[in-house]
Amino acid sequence: MLPYVYRITKYDPADRDERGTYTGTENSVSDHGPVEAAYLEAVAAFAEDTGVQHLHIREPAVAPGFVHFGLEPTVDGHGLAGLFPSDLAGFHDGAEVPVPTGLELVRAMLRDNGAWCRLEVEGTFAVHVGWDQYIYVGSSEPCEAAVSRVRALGLFPERLHSSPYDIAQDGPGVQRPADLEFWARVSWAVSACWAAILEENHVGNASRWHRLTRDNIDAVRSRLAPRALLTVWPDLSTDVTALLASLPDDEMVEIVWEDQDGRISSTVADGTQIAAMAAQVSAARAAAVLSLAVDERHPLFTAVLPDSDGVVRARWRTEPTPSDHDWAFLKTLQRGQIITGTVTEIASFGVTFVDIGGFTAMINIPQLSWRHINHPSDVVTVGQQITAEILDVDMIRERVPLSLRALQEDPLPGIAQQIGQTVTGPVTRLVPFGAFVRIEDREDGLEGLVHNTELAEPPVDRPEDVVRIGDILTVKIIEVDLEWHRITLSRTQARAANSQEHGHA
């Protein structure tokens, strides 16, 4: 907050009642003449006293909406014609303009032409244009000469603690940066036919829309305005007739449509405009109707373009989508972290889902135990609280695989110490290439594979030709693969070893 803030007006403070309301005869619109010129000269005087030569545009916005807050009608081009191109390129958050251009922006705001922004030099200077021809100037310097100049111009400078147009955020919010992870997720979502449309808000109350394909994402990125607020949406509906038939009669909505040439546009319409908009959109290739209530809008995810150094300096707030909340939570996780959670579901395909603080992580069957299990319910139950290790944090697909077995002692190194020994156990499973034998005397004991070539002499083509499930076999442990967690057994070598022992005897 700047230490020296002045409200500069054409209204004499003596003409105010006890509540501070102006009761004089000054008009609350711009005179487009001497008083307007005096306002601009006053701003220029403060800029000169502060040593400012350039200003930064912050939170730019255009009509419709709160921008048109006075009594004058808006004009074509929002009063920015000659200052910025017709597509408003250059009128974006963070854009640097010389003081003369800044003064022309102040003129457009005084005239309520349909554009508004804050003009600032962070920590040094600020100009805000407010309701009814008020200007608020903040400075890091006392600017006594400028204050005297304002009085000489016939205007009234009033010292304040702060400008009512200082930026105010309702809580910290979530600002997802449009970083490499964001764009990787966009690419993945587009490839998966999950996302198709990108909305670019480079100024408040105005959007540019882009259709995304796997081949054009980089090209679209290169054309985005700096510090833009980005919103990713699913595809538009091609059933335009049904969509228009469902339009509400008594509430404002945002209508987005794609014409036959592929151009995507949007507009906000209320009940009085619905019929006209329906006629305009009826020939569209595709369309969507979006609620204006944040909790009823359903974008896939949102982000703010950072500056070239990766820092997000734009103050737009992203819409609170589930994906944004998940992304913010995932940023707090890391591989190898130990985390607790509650089992919420055991899916029919065997995956266990775990709530780890509002986000659903997953455990695949092999990560439940080092030992063979038939179903996750052999190890966990719904509602059970568990402690697990995070195997990975996939920011692109927003997946967090967990492992229970990572916190358990691996029994396989102990088996590796028994290579060359013979053990006895039951056949548990038959597969085309061999038989599995449990070699530990416990229900969930480790199993090893006896390949068909090691089941009998001569080798067999099918294990069921020589053994059945439940048969007790004596086998030799011939290999333990610690990386792949595999035990290789041999029945023929166990028999040979037994024969040699009996022969020596």
- 45-64 pLDDT, tens digit each: 999 999 999 999 999 999 86
- The confidence score (pLDDT) of residue 170 equals 57
Percentage of the chain surpassing pLDDT 90? Answer: 71
What pLDDT, on the 0 to 100 scale, is given for residue 271? 75
Query: Residue 150 — very low, low, confident or very high, per pLDDT cuts 50/70/90?
Result: very high
Helix, strand and coil content of the chain, in percent to the nearest 5, comes to 25, 30, 45
Q: Where are the beta strands (DSSP E) in 376-415?
A: 385-390, 402-403
Write b or e for each residue in 399-435: b if 16 or more Cβ atoms lie within 10 A of its Cβ, otherwise e.
ebbbbbbeeeeeebeebeeeeeebbebebeeeeeebb
**What pLDDT does 326 receive?**
86
Contact 45, 144 (CB under 8 A): no
CA-to-CA dists, residue 77 to 82, 87, 206, 209, 245, angstroms = 9, 9, 13, 19, 33
Rounded Cα gap, residues 206 and 93, in angstroms: 13
Confidence (pTM) = 0.78
User: With 70 as the cut, is the pLDDT of residue 98 above it?
Assistant: yes
Mean pLDDT across the stretch 216-243?
A: 95
The pLDDT of residue 220: 97
| Residue 101 pLDDT exceeds 60 | yes
- Averaged pLDDT for residues 356-364: 95
Residues present in the chain in total: 505
Distance (Å, whole) CA 258 – CA 209? 9
Q: How far apart are CA 162 and CA 69, in angstroms?
A: 21
pLDDT interval class at 68 (50, 70, 90): low
* Contact status, residue 175 vs residue 22, Cβ threshold 8 Å: no
Sequence-separated (6 or more) residues with CB below 8 Å from residue 300 = 189, 194, 195, 232, 233, 234, 321, 323
Q: What is the pLDDT of residue 432?
A: 95
Is the per-residue pLDDT at 30 higher than 80? yes
pLDDT for 278 equals: 83
Of the listed ranges 276-280, 435-439, 451-455, 490-494, the one predicted with least confidence: 276-280
**Residue 132, pLDDT score:** 84
- 339 pLDDT exceeds 60? yes
Q: Which amino acid is at 164?
A: P
* Higher-scoring residue by pLDDT: 442, 100: 100
Q: Is the pLDDT of residue 69 over 70?
A: no
Flag whether pLDDT at 105 surpasses 60. yes
Q: What percent of the chain has pLDDT over 70?
A: 96
pLDDT value at position 497?
A: 80
Which of 29-38, 111-120, 287-296, 315-324 comes out lowest in average pLDDT?
315-324
Provide the 10 A C-beta neighbour count for residue 261: 6
Which amino acid is present at 4?
A: Y
CA distance 54 to 130: 21
Cα dihedral angle (280, 202, 66, 37), rounded to 10 degrees? Answer: -120
Q: For residue 80, which of 55, 132, 117 has the smallest C-alpha distance?
A: 117
What pLDDT score does 310 carry? Answer: 93
The answer, yes or no, to whether residue 389 has pLDDT greater than 80, is yes
Alpha-carbon distance of 225 to 120, in angstroms, equals 19
Q: Give the mean pLDDT of 281-296.
A: 88
What was the pLDDT predicted at 350?
Answer: 86
Between 69-78, 141-150, 209-218, the lowest mean confidence (pLDDT) is in 69-78
Mean pLDDT (the chain, rounded): 91
pLDDT band at 475 (very low <50, low <70, confident <90, very high): very high
The vertex-98 CA angle with 97 and 99, nearest 5°, equals 115
Strands 434-438 and 385-390: unpaired
